Amino acid sequence: MSGVDRLALVSKVLLDQRFLELKRENERLTLRLFWIDHSINTLKHLTNYANNKPGGPRCHCCCCVRAKRYRPSILDGYDDEIVHEACTFGPWFEKIVQEHGLSFAASGACVSFEKMDRECYPMPDDDVHFLLFPTHNAPATSWCTWVYGAKLWKAQTTQDPGLLQLSVLFKTLSGEGDGVVGGPHDSDSDS
C-alpha cells in the first residue's frame, strides 16, 4: 500500500469519525429544540386551550378553575355558584392521551427526585409517559399536577415512538387537525 493510499484510508476514517460526531451533535440539538416546543408548560397551555375550544369539555370544576384551565365567556355568565361536581376535563383528556398511545399513572404523593429538567420539573423513573400527582386541593385524576415520565424524558432521538406520539398529541390539542389554530402562547420557543 502506497503512502497516498494510506493517507486516503486514514483521511476516510477521520472524516467518518467527524461525520458521526456532527450527526450526534445535530441530533442532540434537534432533541433540545423539540423539548423547547414540547415542554410541560406548553402542554399545559394547550390543555387550557383545548378545554375551552368548541368540542372541548369546557369543564369549570374547582380543580379546572384553580388550574386556570377554564376561561368563562360572556355566554357562560359569571355566576360563581355554578360549579361542576366532578371534573369532566380529566376523563376527556385521559381518553385523548390513550387514543394517542400514551400512558399515564397516578402517584400516591409527590416525592423529591434526583433529576430535574430545564423547567425544574422532576424527571421520575416511572415507566409511563405522564405521571400525575394529587395535591391537597385536587386528586391526581384532575390533571392539575403532572410531569413527563421516563418513556418521554429518556428519549435519545426525536424519532423515538413516545416523542412522535407526544408531537401528534400537541397537534391534536392545538387544533391543527381540525383547522383551528391555538393561541399565541402555545409555544415556548418564541420567548
- Each of the 191 residues of the chain gets a pLDDT tens digit; together they read 677 677 676 677 777 887 889 888 999 999 999 999 999 889 999 999 999 888 889 888 888 888 888 877 665 555 554 555 788 898 999 999 999 999 998 876 554 445 555 556 667 777 889 988 877 777 777 788 888 888 998 888 999 999 999 999 999 998 875 533 344 344 444 43
Torsion of CA 39, 139, 86, 173, to 10 degrees: 10
E strands, 19-137, in order: 104-106, 130-133
What ranges do the domains of the chain cover? Answer: 40-178
What residue type is assigned to position 174 of the chain?
A: S
Cβ pair 149, 126 in contact under 8 A:
yes
* Look-up of cell digits 387537525: 177
Cβ pair 89, 51 in contact under 8 A:
yes
| 3-state class (DSSP) for residue 160 | coil
pLDDT of residue 79: 55
- Considering the entire predicted model, what is its pTM? 0.73
Instruction: Tell me the torsion sign for CA atoms 64, 130, 93, 111.
Output: negative
